[in-house]
Amino acid sequence: MILQSLSLLNYKNFETESFELDPKINCFVGNNGVGKTNVLDAVYHLSFGKSYFNPITSQNIKHGEEFFVVEGTYEKNDRAEKIVVSAKKNQKKIIKRNGKPYEKFSEHIGFLPLVIISPADRDLIIEGSDTRRKFMDGVISQGDSSYLRTLINYNKTLAQRNSLLKYFAANSTFNQDTLEIYNAQLNEYGSIIYQKRSEFLDIFMPIFKKRYVSISNGNEEVSLIYKSQLQDENLLTLLQNNLGKDKITQYTNFGIHKDDLLFEIDGHPIKKFGSQGQQKSYLIALKLAQFDFIKDQSGVLPILLLDDIFDKLDEERVEQIITLVDDENFGQLFISDTHADRTEAVVRKVHQTYKMFRL
Ligand SMILES: Nc1ncnc2c1ncn2[C@@H]1O[C@H](COP(=O)(O)OP(=O)(O)OP(=O)(O)O)[C@@H](O)[C@H]1O
């Protein structure tokens, strides 16, 4: 799968801009703030229907404008695919494939697999469990559309159950039958998600470990540990047994929305005990493992976005990663960096075509 051309209209700091892309390596270079990351984010937008960096749609529209359009022409399985994402202020975003709007955006997820490596990934280590669940969900969803549908259904039911708990707090009563329906639905969807997350981790863990060994020079042991309340008890029982607590907090305290993925190094949390270098290697290994996993699941080579890669790694490691595109197992690569010379010196060593875009 190759992104052949990209055009932007009123997208973040760009008024109109278009790029004819190289099938292998595309480098966006320029000073701080010129919009290098925004170009990569536009490519991300075409795959996921949203920004990686700013999920508030209206804030992706150029200041002072009313709408944005991002358009990409791809070649996938020898077919041309045109994807257009557009958003107007105060209106629902539209994603079209070959002129036809998607009714549900979830149907588009996974069609154009993509992995991004960015300095913003450090949130995975420092932020709460929510970011790590999103990572896990993102990886699984790109290869399994039924997973995403189940997750959307789970979240809808969860919101309904929480509303019921709030209603109870205000009125001291609620419909027991309705609660039982919500409990049964959460149990059904939640059990599927728990099962799929567990299976995912079993496959993902060895891939991740292999990637970590290949990019770090150390011999520390890394692991990813899936934590879920459903490991001790089925969800239906948890919901029934903890209704008292839920009534007090007006919130559902048990379920897969409380899952976490623990990042460990030599048996300790990497957040507290990993060096800066180890944390960077850990995150890159995680993302490269995501690449491997999606490729194995979907049979398609994901697009790889390397945002501000020198921020994360020294030149030798960057070279090592970029050399991966030499391997037939890698597809198209997008790189952003402030230093044109540094980037070009590295990509030149790879025996692939490349284009430099100076912004
Ligand atoms: N909605 C918007 N309208 C206009 N400009 C915007 C909008 N959103 C972001 N920007 C501008 O985009 C610029 C940031 O772009 P971006 O993050 O792509 O820069 P960069 O070239 O990657 O910089 P760095 O090298 O510092 O990472 C900023 O100047 C910011 O003000």
pLDDT for 132:
96
DSSP state of 62: P
Does residue 65 form part of some domain? yes
| Domain identity same for 291 and 321 | no
pLDDT for 347:
86
Q: How many whole angstroms separate alpha carbon 153 and alpha carbon 353?
A: 44
Does residue 78 form part of some domain? yes
Burial 226-246 (b: 16+ CB within 10 A, else e): bebbbeeeebbebbeebeeeb
pLDDT for 56:
92
Mean pLDDT of 95-107: 94
pLDDT for 38:
97
Q: How far is the centre of ligand 1, averaged over its atoms, from the C-alpha of 340 (Å)?
A: 18
Q: Which ligand 1 atom is nearest residue 35's CA?
A: 18
| Domain identity same for 277 and 327 | no
Take atom 13 of ligand 1 and give the residue whose Cα is closest: 33
pLDDT for 300:
87
**Residue that is written with structure tokens 């001790």 in the block:** 232
| Band of pLDDT at residue 45, cut at 50, 70 and 90 | very high
From 14, 19, 29, 34, mutation site for ligand 1 pocket: most ligand atoms within 8 A of C-beta: 34
Q: How many whole angstroms separate alpha carbon 265 and alpha carbon 221?
A: 6
| Mean pLDDT over the full length of the chain | 92
Does residue 317 form part of some domain? yes
Q: How far is the centre of ligand 1, averaged over its atoms, from the C-alpha of 290 (Å)?
A: 27
The parent domain of residue 140 ranges over: 126-299
The alpha-helical segments, DSSP class H, found in 216-339 are 235-241, 243-249, 270-273, 276-298, 309-312, 315-322
| Band of pLDDT at residue 319, cut at 50, 70 and 90 | confident
Does residue 118 form part of some domain? no
Does residue 232 form part of some domain? yes
Q: Which ligand 1 atom is nearest residue 39's CA?
A: 18
Q: Which ligand 1 atom is nearest residue 40's CA?
A: 18
From 8, 9, 10, 13, mutation site for ligand 1 pocket: most ligand atoms within 8 A of C-beta: 13
Q: In this prediction, does ipTM exceed 0.85?
A: yes
> What CATH number is attached to the domain comprising 148?
1.20.1050.90
Q: What is the pLDDT of residues 122-147, one digit of tens each?
A: 999 999 999 999 999 999 988 888 99
Q: Could you tell me which residue, 81 or 280, shows the higher pLDDT?
A: 81
| Domain identity same for 170 and 293 | yes
Does residue 226 form part of some domain? yes
| Domain identity same for 272 and 134 | yes
- pLDDT above 70 (res 158): yes
Mean pLDDT of 105-132: 93
Does residue 66 form part of some domain? yes
Q: At what angle do helices 276-298 and 129-143 cross, to 10 degrees?
A: 30
pLDDT for 325:
61
Q: How far is the centre of ligand 1, averaged over its atoms, from the C-alpha of 330 (Å)?
A: 28
| Band of pLDDT at residue 328, cut at 50, 70 and 90 | low
Identify which of 46, 73, 72, 45 has the alpha carbon closest to the alpha carbon of residue 59: 45
Q: Which ligand 1 atom is nearest residue 54's CA?
A: 8
Q: How far is the centre of ligand 1, averaged over its atoms, from the C-alpha of 51 (Å)?
A: 13
**The last residue of a domain, from among 299, 315, 341:** 299
* Ligand 1, CB within 6 Å, residue ranges: 12-13, 30, 32-38, 59-63, 308, 336, 338
pLDDT for 327:
66
Does residue 55 form part of some domain? yes
Identify which of 93, 96, 7 has the alpha carbon closest to the alpha carbon of residue 56: 93
| Domain identity same for 16 and 158 | no
- pLDDT above 90 (res 216): no
- pLDDT above 90 (res 331): no
Q: Which ligand 1 atom is nearest residue 59's CA?
A: 1
> What CATH number is attached to the domain comprising 11?
3.40.50.300
- Contacts (Cβ under 8 Å, ≥6 apart) of 288: 115, 117, 211, 215, 321, 324
Point out which residues pair with 115 in neighbouring strands: 304
**The last residue of a domain, from among 299, 321, 350:** 299
| Domain identity same for 76 and 169 | no
**Residue that is written with structure tokens 């070959």 in the block:** 98
Task: Cite the annotated binding site for ATP by residue number.
Answer: 30-37
| Domain identity same for 51 and 182 | no
| Domain identity same for 75 and 179 | no
Q: What is the pLDDT of residues 225-262, one digit of tens each?
A: 999 999 999 999 999 999 999 999 999 999 999 999 99
| Domain identity same for 270 and 189 | yes
| Band of pLDDT at residue 322, cut at 50, 70 and 90 | confident
**The last residue of a domain, from among 249, 283, 299:** 299
Residue 87: both structure tokens together: 């958003």
| Domain identity same for 143 and 71 | no
| Domain identity same for 44 and 14 | yes
Q: How far is the centre of ligand 1, averaged over its atoms, from the C-alpha of 289 (Å)?
A: 29
Mean pLDDT of 37-59: 95
| Band of pLDDT at residue 117, cut at 50, 70 and 90 | very high
| Domain identity same for 81 and 43 | yes
Point out which residues pair with 20 in neighbouring strands: 5
Mean pLDDT of 295-303: 88
Domain count, the chain: 2
